[in-house]
Structure 1
Amino acid sequence: MKINLKKIEKMGDPTRNQKILLDDIFIEKNALSKLPEIMNTYYKDYQSIVMICDENTYNIAGKKVESKLPNINTIVLDPNHLHADEHGVEQADIHLKKIGKIDFLIACGSGTVHDITRYHAYNLGIDFMSIPTAASVDGFVSTMAAMTWKGMKKTFTAVSPRFVLADTEIFSKAPARLTASGVGDLLGKYTALCDWKIAHAVTGEYINWDIVNWEYDILEELVQTLDGLSKNDEKAYENLMYGLLMSGLAMQLMGYSRPASCCEHHCSHLWEEAAINEPIDFYHGEKVGVGMIICTQVYKKALSYLKRGDYTLHASVDVEFDLIKDNFKNEILQEEILKENEPNIMENITGKMLKDRESDIISILETLPNVTTMMEWINKVNGCTSMNDIGLSEDLRPLTLKLSPYVRKRLSFMRLLKFYDFYNAVIE
């Protein structure tokens, strides 16, 4: 599958420096066979090349990379409890320091390996290549490293890969859970786009409609090919990988994650911070998919209230500092969350603004697929659809919905709902 990066880049606004940072993307069977040619064409001046992988991805793809690039240095991380956090970064750093001078990195793995690699590429001031071994997340071409750092979910400035080499023969044979995670992460764009459009309608926040419409096309292609994933259809896997990479390019064009992340990711981040729950060891996309479902349940309930029109609105809404302090007991984490909410992103929003945009909000919420449909999509790949599926009690649902909007300084409809008198009714 050949990707026309120039066509995609035209969706960006050059006055906002919206551009693509990749040299190229290949998504095809036996793509790894082209690795020597690609290195010679694009990166022939690099002498010290290091591949970062874990034991699993080394056996799946790393050995093939070594056979194509005999002089490469390989760092094989221990996959047990490997996460994109300070411990994973340190594990790789120990090996990198032993190697010394490095010109170029290759990330051979899924999301965790990529975030660790891009973090180090940024700090070393060098380029890297992405070789995804599973269609599991949309962050392969991200310019940010999403990490849990000292208990806090953080987004670090990092670098995009210069090239993506996605071999269908490899990622189509990834464990089914990783593929289901990718489906959950990509489907989560439905709520993310819904939040973006509502924020634009209410506050005038900048929105790129070309990117929004492109993402909806990607989602439509995904849902129409989901059946093929359970039948091991390589074209369906390529379409999923394409969708994930294009979602990443949407973020790259914007320069931040607004096109791909909002209320559903806020839930995932809250759970990852283990403020109200015990730590859970589930994939990013599994948590995002569940976040999408529980947020959609709330949004659809709110829609029914909005249509009836028998509600009142608060004039303004302050940050619930006591709620934050009561639940984020870890002092460092609490301090970070409090900083994240100063100033209040809703300080210039009034109840009247929401009332004035009522018809717009209703129209946007009506375009959001219903929960039953979302669950049917995820069930096609045996993914996670409830909090119980990811090791959480359903009793935590109301608190999740109350707290999650505070983990990121990004306006969501979940946070705007705090203006409405029916708020508690729709989150219970």
Structure 2
Amino acid sequence: MLEQAGEIQPWLGASFVCGCGQEHTVPIRSVVIERGALAALPPYAAERGYSELLIVADRRTMEAAGEELLQRCKAASLQAQACVLAEDERGELAADERAIVQLMLHMTPGVQAIAAVGSGTIHDIVRFVAHRTGRVFLSVPTAPSVDGFASVGAPLIIGGFKQTIPASAPEAIFADLQLLARAPQAMIAAGFGDMLGKYTALADWQLGRELFGEPYCELAAEMTRQGLALCMDHAEEIAAGTELGVRKLMEGLTLSGISMLLVGHSRPASGGEHHLSHFWEMRFIQQRRRALLHGAKVGVAAVQMAALYEAAAGLTREAAAEAVAARLASGDAPSVERMRAQIEAGYGTIAQQVLAENGLGAAADSAPAASVPAASPQLPQRIAARWDAIREICRSVPSPQELADALRRAGGPAAAEELGIEPELLAESLRVAKYVRNRYTIMRLCEWL
């Protein structure tokens, strides 16, 4: 199976028992990444018996592709209507309660399939509503900006807290290369940044396996690696925005999405770099600042995570053991009480949601430390005993300078200040963004070093 990890077609509609011991299913039936892919959607819908479609876009993506798709559907004798999601008072669209209600109000009993025409935000809104209403979800990317087109989770902002909610994978993806190549270069660079974050995401997943026996699928990991390699091997074409470049980027993003489908969660493609990105996003929402491109944030955050990995890789087994011992002796080590205090101080009005995410909600008030893995009494000894393996994981991550250079070649930002992230916000996020998800990452490991 591993020899086909860099291909898309063999996995479509597949169901099989993997070497990891789990049965994997890929519900996506078709992926079309080519010139003129937009024209393939109406005949696909007709063949599948979807005679009534709802096309969902925002103002910009309706103009870029929605109008053309609407006319093509009507020419194919399909009943098609459009839902153009309105922006908020800041001229932005977020995957939040407001947008979900907008789409729900456009749903009629006869709609059989919903086509998301746009990038990540529109896809997240549509996949959630399609899942909750039992409709088929079709994907029409207008920019190769995120790896979420093929995935199943919907990252939504609910009550100001960004959480990933299980939803629907698309039944089919129609990625028109002419359309993707016309996307703003900043969005193409954002897709590259999202892929670059896989270096640190995969390493974080390996830390979880090494320290906690977390389930790990080599096929999903290899699929992500192969998608990343496609992008790195064609970085110059991606930077130039050529059709070859956007094809390879879109293929890489799709492979990353399928890797998440295989295991049913985002671990193969999302780690500490995404937690940092999500924290910045939530803080920007609280401060009513304009949103940043997801992939741009992830790329910059990956550079920050790579710096932590580089520092950890420089520690010998003896130095790591001494660092862990010093943390224990000083009392400056992770504990349930310390985690709770940091979350309450760092997250303010959404602290209760973050506490619950980390197993520290009301029901866990008197829970022993052993029930919170990151505060397990056995963890310091485990880190010291397994340091050689941990160090090899750390060495697998490219240097922060290598990642920054790659981002800049693609035309994207590489430093926090280029995103408008102030030094104070960066420092705070490096302290408490590890709590955005209850997963083990390099940020949590560095609490001991």
Tell me if both proteins adopt one fold, taking TM over 0.5 as the criterion. yes
Structure 1 counterpart of 2:313, which letter? L
- Structure 2 residue corresponding to 1:123, chosen from 111, 118, 132: 132
| Aligned-residue offset at 1:154 | 1.0
Give the 3 Å change call, closer, same or farther, for CA 404–28 of structure 1 in structure 2: same
CA distance in 1, matches of 2:344, 2:175: 44
| Aligned-residue offset at 1:11 | 8.0
CA distance in 1, matches of 2:411, 2:223: 27
Matched, 1:286 2:296: yes
CA contact (8 A) 2:197 2:270 kept: yes
Matched, 1:338 2:355: yes
Structure 2 counterpart of 1:63, which letter? E
| Aligned-residue offset at 1:416 | 2.0
Show the counterpart of 1:322. Answer: 341
Matching of residues 177-196 of structure 1 within 5 Å: 177-196=186-205
Structure 1 counterpart of 2:84, which letter? V
Give the 3 Å change call, closer, same or farther, for CA 100–407 of structure 1 in structure 2: same
| Aligned-residue offset at 1:373 | 0.9
Give the 3 Å change call, closer, same or farther, for CA 83–390 of structure 1 in structure 2: same
CA distance in 1, matches of 2:111, 2:134: 10
| Aligned-residue offset at 1:298 | 1.7
CA distance in 2, matches of 1:392, 1:275: 10
| Aligned-residue offset at 1:364 | 1.0
Which stretch shows the higher mean deviation, 196-205 or 370-379? 196-205
Give the 3 Å change call, closer, same or farther, for CA 231–346 of structure 1 in structure 2: closer
- Structure 1 residue corresponding to 2:384, chosen from 340, 355, 361: 355
- Structure 2 residue corresponding to 1:103, chosen from 105, 109, 112: 112
Structure 1 counterpart of 2:37, which letter? A
CA distance in 1, matches of 2:19, 2:423: 43
Show the counterpart of 1:423. Answer: none
CA contact (8 A) 2:309 2:395 kept: no
Which stretch shows the higher mean deviation, 265-274 or 337-346? 337-346
User: Is there any run of 5+ residues in structure 1 with no aligned partner, and where?
Assistant: 421-428
Show the counterpart of 1:256. Answer: 265
Which stretch shows the higher mean deviation, 79-88 or 251-260? 79-88
CA contact (8 A) 1:188 1:288 kept: yes
Matched, 1:49 2:60: no
CA contact (8 A) 2:160 2:285 kept: no
| Aligned-residue offset at 1:396 | 2.6
CA distance in 1, matches of 2:335, 2:284: 21
- Structure 2 residue corresponding to 1:74, chosen from 67, 79, 82: 82
What TM-score do you get using the length of structure 1 for normalisation?
0.91
Structure 1 counterpart of 2:9, which letter? I
| Aligned-residue offset at 1:133 | 0.6
Give the 3 Å change call, closer, same or farther, for CA 173–8 of structure 1 in structure 2: farther
Aligned length: 414
Q: Could you say what secondary structure the match of 2:440 adopts? A: coil
CA contact (8 A) 1:272 1:280 kept: no
CA contact (8 A) 1:345 1:409 kept: no
Show the counterpart of 1:86. Answer: 97
Q: Could you say what secondary structure the match of 1:142 adopts? A: coil
CA distance in 2, matches of 1:40, 1:2: 24
| Aligned-residue offset at 1:12 | 4.2
Matching of residues 278-427 of structure 1 within 5 Å: 278=287, 279-306=289-316, 309=319, 311-313=322-324, 314=327, 317-319=334-336, 320-330=339-349, 333-342=350-359, 343-348=371-376, 349-420=378-449
Q: Which runs of 4+ in 1 moved over 6 A?
A: none
User: Is there any run of 5+ residues in structure 2 with no aligned partner, and where?
Assistant: 1-6, 360-370
Q: Could you say what secondary structure the match of 1:4 adopts? A: helix
Give the 3 Å change call, closer, same or farther, for CA 291–230 of structure 1 in structure 2: closer
Show the counterpart of 1:426. Answer: none
Show the counterpart of 1:228. Answer: 237
- Structure 1 residue corresponding to 2:206, chosen from 191, 197, 200: 197
CA contact (8 A) 1:275 1:327 kept: no
Give the 3 Å change call, closer, same or farther, for CA 64–229 of structure 1 in structure 2: same
What is the RMSD of the two structures over their aligned residues, measured on CA atoms? Answer: 2.1
Structure 2 counterpart of 1:293, which letter? V
Q: Could you say what secondary structure the match of 2:114 adopts? A: strand
CA distance in 2, matches of 1:325, 1:347: 17
CA contact (8 A) 2:13 2:27 kept: no
| Aligned-residue offset at 1:149 | 1.0
Give the 3 Å change call, closer, same or farther, for CA 275–163 of structure 1 in structure 2: closer
| Aligned-residue offset at 1:409 | 0.8
Which stretch shows the higher mean deviation, 307-316 or 161-170? 307-316
Structure 2 counterpart of 1:324, which letter? I
CA contact (8 A) 2:201 2:269 kept: yes
| Aligned-residue offset at 1:321 | 1.6
- Structure 2 residue corresponding to 1:244, chosen from 240, 249, 253: 253
- 1:191-235 deviation per Cα after TM superposition (whole angstroms, max 9, x unaligned): 000111121112221111122123222212211101012333211
CA distance in 2, matches of 1:29, 1:38: 16
CA contact (8 A) 2:281 2:292 kept: no
Structure 1 counterpart of 2:414, which letter? T
Q: Could you say what secondary structure the match of 2:25 adopts? A: coil
Q: Could you say what secondary structure the match of 2:82 adopts? A: strand
Q: Could you say what secondary structure the match of 2:111 adopts? A: coil
Q: Could you say what secondary structure the match of 2:220 adopts? A: helix
Matched, 1:149 2:155: no
CA distance in 2, matches of 1:12, 1:130: 27
- 1:383-428 deviation per Cα after TM superposition (whole angstroms, max 9, x unaligned): 12111111111233232111011111111121122123xxxxxxxx
Matching of residues 23-62 of structure 1 within 5 Å: 23-41=29-47, 43-44=48-49, 46-62=50-66
- 1:271-304 deviation per Cα after TM superposition (whole angstroms, max 9, x unaligned): 1221897344101111111111111112211222
Structure 2 counterpart of 1:90, which letter? V
CA distance in 2, matches of 1:276, 1:363: 38
Q: Could you say what secondary structure the match of 1:59 adopts? A: helix
CA contact (8 A) 1:202 1:354 kept: yes
- Identical-residue share of aligned pairs (%): 29
| Aligned-residue offset at 1:14 | 8.7
